[in-house]
A = this chain, B = another copy of it.
């Protein structure tokens, strides 16, 4: 099933900027991996913020939790999860 998440990221200001850069690089690597696996379907930035909206494919909330906790920035994220049901408009089209 699909889930929509809205994540706001706050790395403590005291984190050395090199460590932040490492985190961002690691996050991108895991992000690409999750896209290849078909779990991370789409991702957008919320303008003006260090925050994103992401569309996920996961078997259930337990797998979604596993995917989200794989993200190196996960400890710095505040995440809101919206479970999504198939809409008849897309069901018709398949």
Give chain A's interface residues, CB within 8 Å of chain B. 1-5, 7, 12-13, 28, 31-32, 35, 40, 42-49, 52-53, 55, 60-62, 64-65, 68-69, 74-75, 77-79, 81-90, 92-93
Contacts and interface: CB of A to CB of B under 8 A. Distances in A.
A89 to B, nearest CB: 5
A35 B86 contact: no
Contact of A1 (B32, B61, B86): B61
Contacts of A53: 4, 82, 84
Contacts of A83: 3, 47, 60-61, 64, 81, 83
Interface of A is mostly: mixed
Given A28-B92, A49-B79, A2 B86 contact: no
